Amino acid sequence: RPQDLGALIYAAVCREHFEPATACHVAAEVGVREDAAVHDVSNACLGVLNGIVDVANRIELGQIRAGMVVSCESAREIVDTMIERMLRERDMAVFRTALATLTGGSAAAAVVLTDGSFGSGRQTRLVGGVTMADPRHHELCRWGLEPQPGPRRAESGELTYRQLMHTDSVAVLEHGVALGKRCWDAFLEELGWSGVDRTVCHQVGAAHRETILQLLGLAQERDFVAYDYLGNTGTVALPLAAALAAEREFLHPGHRVGLLGIGSGLNCMMLGVEW
Protein backbone atom coordinates (compact mmCIF):
# COMPACT_ATOMS: atom_id res chain seq x y z
CA ARG A 1 0.00 0.00 0.00
CA PRO A 2 1.26 3.56 -0.66
CA GLN A 3 1.10 4.42 3.04
CA ASP A 4 3.57 1.60 3.79
CA LEU A 5 6.30 3.15 1.64
CA GLY A 6 8.94 4.93 3.68
CA ALA A 7 10.97 5.88 0.60
CA LEU A 8 10.29 6.50 -3.08
CA ILE A 9 13.26 6.92 -5.38
CA TYR A 10 13.25 7.78 -9.09
CA ALA A 11 16.41 6.43 -10.70
CA ALA A 12 16.23 6.85 -14.49
CA VAL A 13 18.59 8.65 -16.82
CA CYS A 14 15.55 10.30 -18.42
CA ARG A 15 13.80 12.82 -16.20
CA GLU A 16 11.21 15.56 -16.57
CA HIS A 17 13.11 18.60 -15.23
CA PHE A 18 16.33 19.59 -13.51
CA GLU A 19 14.10 20.33 -10.52
CA PRO A 20 12.05 19.30 -8.73
CA ALA A 21 13.00 15.65 -8.44
CA THR A 22 10.91 13.52 -10.80
CA ALA A 23 10.30 11.30 -7.77
CA CYS A 24 8.03 14.06 -6.44
CA HIS A 25 5.71 13.69 -9.44
CA VAL A 26 5.63 9.92 -9.00
CA ALA A 27 5.06 10.23 -5.25
CA ALA A 28 2.14 12.59 -5.81
CA GLU A 29 0.50 10.12 -8.19
CA VAL A 30 1.16 7.15 -5.91
CA GLY A 31 0.07 8.99 -2.77
CA VAL A 32 2.94 8.27 -0.40
CA ARG A 33 2.81 9.47 3.18
CA GLU A 34 4.24 12.81 4.27
CA ASP A 35 7.25 11.44 6.16
CA ALA A 36 8.49 9.31 3.24
CA ALA A 37 11.91 10.05 1.73
CA VAL A 38 11.31 11.21 -1.85
CA HIS A 39 14.25 11.94 -4.15
CA ASP A 40 16.04 11.10 -7.39
CA VAL A 41 19.20 9.05 -7.85
CA SER A 42 21.33 9.45 -10.97
CA ASN A 43 24.18 7.15 -11.97
CA ALA A 44 23.79 6.30 -15.67
CA CYS A 45 22.55 2.73 -16.16
CA LEU A 46 23.20 1.77 -12.53
CA GLY A 47 20.57 4.13 -11.13
CA VAL A 48 18.02 1.47 -10.16
CA LEU A 49 20.67 -0.69 -8.48
CA ASN A 50 21.84 2.36 -6.51
CA GLY A 51 18.24 3.04 -5.53
CA ILE A 52 17.80 -0.55 -4.39
CA VAL A 53 20.84 -0.27 -2.13
CA ASP A 54 19.59 3.08 -0.76
CA VAL A 55 16.22 1.56 0.21
CA ALA A 56 17.82 -1.64 1.53
CA ASN A 57 20.14 0.34 3.78
CA ARG A 58 17.23 2.32 5.20
CA ILE A 59 15.43 -0.94 5.95
CA GLU A 60 18.52 -2.47 7.58
CA LEU A 61 18.91 0.63 9.76
CA GLY A 62 15.32 0.27 10.91
CA GLN A 63 14.30 3.63 9.44
CA ILE A 64 11.60 2.22 7.14
CA ARG A 65 9.79 -1.07 6.51
CA ALA A 66 9.37 -0.73 2.75
CA GLY A 67 10.42 1.43 -0.16
CA MET A 68 10.07 1.61 -3.93
CA VAL A 69 12.49 2.43 -6.74
CA VAL A 70 10.95 3.51 -10.06
CA SER A 71 12.44 4.24 -13.45
CA CYS A 72 11.21 5.15 -16.93
CA GLU A 73 13.46 5.41 -19.97
CA SER A 74 12.56 6.69 -23.45
CA ALA A 75 14.95 6.28 -26.37
CA ARG A 76 12.84 8.10 -28.97
CA GLU A 77 14.25 11.60 -28.54
CA ILE A 78 17.93 10.67 -28.44
CA VAL A 79 17.61 8.16 -31.32
CA ASP A 80 15.82 10.75 -33.48
CA THR A 81 18.46 13.34 -32.57
CA MET A 82 21.28 10.98 -33.48
CA ILE A 83 19.70 10.02 -36.82
CA GLU A 84 19.32 13.71 -37.70
CA ARG A 85 22.99 14.29 -36.86
CA MET A 86 24.14 11.33 -38.94
CA LEU A 87 22.12 12.53 -41.94
CA ARG A 88 23.46 16.04 -41.51
CA GLU A 89 27.17 15.30 -40.99
CA ARG A 90 27.59 12.03 -42.95
CA ASP A 91 30.90 11.21 -41.28
CA MET A 92 32.18 7.74 -40.35
CA ALA A 93 33.55 9.01 -37.03
CA VAL A 94 30.06 10.23 -36.10
CA PHE A 95 28.55 6.96 -37.28
CA ARG A 96 30.96 4.93 -35.14
CA THR A 97 30.07 6.80 -31.94
CA ALA A 98 26.36 6.69 -32.82
CA LEU A 99 25.94 2.94 -33.11
CA ALA A 100 25.40 2.31 -29.39
CA THR A 101 22.73 5.02 -29.26
CA LEU A 102 20.73 3.30 -31.99
CA THR A 103 20.42 0.15 -29.83
CA GLY A 104 18.41 2.04 -27.20
CA GLY A 105 14.95 0.94 -26.12
CA SER A 106 12.11 2.34 -24.02
CA ALA A 107 10.72 0.73 -20.87
CA ALA A 108 9.72 1.31 -17.26
CA ALA A 109 10.09 -0.62 -14.01
CA ALA A 110 9.28 -0.44 -10.32
CA VAL A 111 11.10 -2.40 -7.61
CA VAL A 112 9.60 -2.79 -4.13
CA LEU A 113 11.78 -3.80 -1.18
CA THR A 114 10.45 -4.67 2.28
CA ASP A 115 11.69 -5.98 5.62
CA GLY A 116 9.78 -9.19 4.98
CA SER A 117 6.99 -8.48 7.45
CA PHE A 118 4.19 -7.89 4.91
CA GLY A 119 3.45 -11.48 3.93
CA SER A 120 4.07 -15.12 4.73
CA GLY A 121 4.73 -16.38 1.20
CA ARG A 122 8.08 -17.15 -0.41
CA GLN A 123 10.22 -14.05 -0.63
CA THR A 124 13.29 -13.16 -2.64
CA ARG A 125 16.12 -11.94 -0.40
CA LEU A 126 18.77 -9.36 -1.22
CA VAL A 127 21.94 -10.75 0.38
CA GLY A 128 24.52 -8.05 -0.34
CA GLY A 129 26.68 -6.57 -3.03
CA VAL A 130 29.78 -4.73 -4.12
CA THR A 131 30.41 -1.53 -6.05
CA MET A 132 33.54 -0.32 -7.83
CA ALA A 133 34.41 2.71 -9.95
CA ASP A 134 37.05 3.67 -12.50
CA PRO A 135 36.25 7.36 -13.12
CA ARG A 136 39.33 7.84 -15.30
CA HIS A 137 37.05 6.74 -18.15
CA HIS A 138 34.14 9.09 -17.47
CA GLU A 139 34.28 10.61 -20.97
CA LEU A 140 33.81 7.36 -22.89
CA CYS A 141 30.01 7.51 -22.84
CA ARG A 142 28.27 10.88 -22.54
CA TRP A 143 24.72 12.13 -23.03
CA GLY A 144 23.69 15.71 -22.42
CA LEU A 145 23.88 19.28 -23.63
CA GLU A 146 27.28 20.49 -24.75
CA PRO A 147 28.38 23.85 -26.20
CA GLN A 148 28.53 23.85 -29.96
CA PRO A 149 31.75 25.12 -31.57
CA GLY A 150 31.45 28.36 -33.48
CA PRO A 151 30.52 31.99 -32.84
CA ARG A 152 28.23 33.00 -30.01
CA ARG A 153 24.70 34.14 -30.68
CA ALA A 154 24.99 37.68 -31.98
CA GLU A 155 21.99 39.07 -30.11
CA SER A 156 22.93 37.76 -26.65
CA GLY A 157 26.52 36.59 -26.76
CA GLU A 158 25.40 33.21 -25.41
CA LEU A 159 26.87 29.90 -26.47
CA THR A 160 24.76 27.58 -28.60
CA TYR A 161 24.14 24.17 -27.03
CA ARG A 162 23.04 20.94 -28.64
CA GLN A 163 22.09 17.53 -27.35
CA LEU A 164 24.97 15.08 -27.71
CA MET A 165 25.25 11.32 -27.28
CA HIS A 166 28.77 9.96 -27.69
CA THR A 167 29.88 6.38 -26.99
CA ASP A 168 33.29 4.86 -27.64
CA SER A 169 31.97 1.30 -27.67
CA VAL A 170 35.36 -0.37 -28.10
CA ALA A 171 36.91 1.45 -25.14
CA VAL A 172 33.81 0.97 -22.98
CA LEU A 173 33.99 -2.77 -23.67
CA GLU A 174 37.71 -2.97 -22.94
CA HIS A 175 37.73 -1.01 -19.69
CA GLY A 176 34.24 -2.04 -18.60
CA VAL A 177 34.92 -5.77 -18.61
CA ALA A 178 38.23 -5.24 -16.80
CA LEU A 179 36.40 -3.33 -14.07
CA GLY A 180 33.71 -6.00 -14.08
CA LYS A 181 36.28 -8.74 -13.44
CA ARG A 182 37.69 -6.91 -10.42
CA CYS A 183 34.19 -6.28 -9.11
CA TRP A 184 33.18 -9.93 -9.63
CA ASP A 185 36.11 -11.24 -7.61
CA ALA A 186 35.29 -8.81 -4.78
CA PHE A 187 31.59 -9.74 -5.04
CA LEU A 188 32.19 -13.46 -4.47
CA GLU A 189 34.54 -12.74 -1.58
CA GLU A 190 32.13 -10.29 0.07
CA LEU A 191 29.16 -12.67 -0.10
CA GLY A 192 31.18 -15.78 0.66
CA TRP A 193 29.88 -17.45 -2.49
CA SER A 194 31.88 -19.81 -4.69
CA GLY A 195 29.63 -19.04 -7.65
CA VAL A 196 26.07 -18.32 -8.76
CA ASP A 197 23.30 -20.42 -10.28
CA ARG A 198 22.00 -17.68 -12.60
CA THR A 199 23.06 -14.24 -13.77
CA VAL A 200 21.10 -11.28 -15.06
CA CYS A 201 23.34 -8.62 -16.57
CA HIS A 202 22.84 -5.09 -17.81
CA GLN A 203 21.44 -5.60 -21.32
CA VAL A 204 23.86 -3.96 -23.78
CA GLY A 205 24.51 -6.36 -26.64
CA ALA A 206 26.02 -9.66 -27.75
CA ALA A 207 29.67 -8.59 -27.82
CA HIS A 208 29.60 -7.16 -24.30
CA ARG A 209 27.69 -10.16 -22.94
CA GLU A 210 29.93 -12.79 -24.49
CA THR A 211 33.12 -11.01 -23.43
CA ILE A 212 32.15 -10.44 -19.80
CA LEU A 213 30.69 -13.93 -19.31
CA GLN A 214 33.81 -15.53 -20.76
CA LEU A 215 36.08 -13.40 -18.58
CA LEU A 216 34.10 -14.26 -15.44
CA GLY A 217 33.94 -17.94 -16.35
CA LEU A 218 30.13 -17.97 -16.52
CA ALA A 219 28.05 -20.18 -18.81
CA GLN A 220 25.86 -18.38 -21.34
CA GLU A 221 22.98 -20.79 -20.76
CA ARG A 222 22.79 -19.61 -17.14
CA ASP A 223 22.46 -15.95 -18.14
CA PHE A 224 19.14 -14.38 -19.13
CA VAL A 225 18.98 -12.25 -22.28
CA ALA A 226 16.43 -9.58 -23.17
CA TYR A 227 18.38 -7.04 -25.27
CA ASP A 228 17.72 -8.94 -28.50
CA TYR A 229 14.08 -7.81 -28.49
CA LEU A 230 14.00 -4.91 -25.99
CA GLY A 231 17.26 -3.16 -26.82
CA ASN A 232 19.29 -1.35 -24.18
CA THR A 233 16.69 0.22 -21.90
CA GLY A 234 19.19 1.92 -19.59
CA THR A 235 18.43 1.73 -15.88
CA VAL A 236 15.35 -0.39 -16.58
CA ALA A 237 17.26 -3.09 -18.46
CA LEU A 238 18.45 -5.16 -15.53
CA PRO A 239 15.32 -5.13 -13.31
CA LEU A 240 13.11 -5.74 -16.36
CA ALA A 241 15.27 -8.67 -17.47
CA ALA A 242 15.14 -10.09 -13.93
CA ALA A 243 11.34 -9.83 -13.88
CA LEU A 244 11.08 -11.58 -17.26
CA ALA A 245 13.51 -14.26 -16.11
CA ALA A 246 11.31 -14.96 -13.09
CA GLU A 247 8.11 -14.90 -15.16
CA ARG A 248 9.57 -17.43 -17.59
CA GLU A 249 10.78 -19.64 -14.73
CA PHE A 250 14.43 -19.16 -15.60
CA LEU A 251 14.97 -18.31 -11.92
CA HIS A 252 14.00 -21.04 -9.47
CA PRO A 253 13.49 -21.00 -5.68
CA GLY A 254 16.83 -21.45 -3.95
CA HIS A 255 18.89 -20.07 -6.83
CA ARG A 256 21.78 -17.76 -6.04
CA VAL A 257 21.37 -14.98 -8.60
CA GLY A 258 23.93 -12.36 -9.54
CA LEU A 259 22.59 -9.02 -10.76
CA LEU A 260 25.57 -7.64 -12.67
CA GLY A 261 25.54 -3.97 -13.66
CA ILE A 262 28.18 -1.93 -15.49
CA GLY A 263 27.50 1.68 -16.43
CA SER A 264 29.05 4.86 -17.78
CA GLY A 265 31.52 6.50 -15.50
CA LEU A 266 32.80 3.82 -15.37
CA ASN A 267 30.87 2.27 -12.49
CA CYS A 268 30.14 -1.34 -11.66
CA MET A 269 27.71 -2.79 -9.12
CA MET A 270 26.89 -6.43 -8.45
CA LEU A 271 24.11 -7.54 -6.13
CA GLY A 272 23.50 -11.05 -4.82
CA VAL A 273 19.95 -12.34 -4.47
CA GLU A 274 18.62 -15.59 -3.04
CA TRP A 275 15.53 -16.40 -5.09
83 — pLDDT class (breaks 50, 70, 90): confident
Is residue 19 part of the annotated active site? The answer reads yes
Is residue 158 part of the annotated active site? The answer reads no
* Choice among 45, 141, 201, 268 that is catalytic: 45
81 — pLDDT class (breaks 50, 70, 90): confident
91 versus 197: which is more confidently predicted?
Answer: 197
Give me Rg for the CA atoms of the chain.
20
Sketch the domain layout of the chain as residue ranges. 2-75+106-114, 125-139+167-274
125-139+167-274 under CATH 3.40.47.10, yes or no: yes
Q: Do domains 2-75+106-114 and 125-139+167-274 have the same CATH topology?
A: yes
Rounded to two decimals, what is the model's pTM? 0.90
pLDDT at 94: 79
* Choice among 19, 29, 247, 249 that is catalytic: 19
97 — pLDDT class (breaks 50, 70, 90): confident
Residues 6+ apart with CB under 8 A from 11: 40, 41, 42, 43, 47, 48, 50, 51, 69, 70, 71, 235
35 versus 149: which is more confidently predicted?
Answer: 35
Model confidence over 114-153: pLDDT tens digits?
999 987 677 899 999 999 999 999 988 888 777 776 665 5
244 versus 120: which is more confidently predicted?
Answer: 244
Residues 6+ apart with CB under 8 A from 145: 161, 162, 163, 164
Q: What are phi and psi of 111, to 5 degrees?
A: -120, 125
Q: What is the distance between the alpha carbons of residues 12 and 267, in angstroms, rounded to a whole number?
A: 15
Tell me the CATH class for 2-75+106-114: alpha beta
Residues 6+ apart with CB under 8 A from 57: none
162 — pLDDT class (breaks 50, 70, 90): confident
Show the DSSP H helices in 144-196 as ranges. 169-191
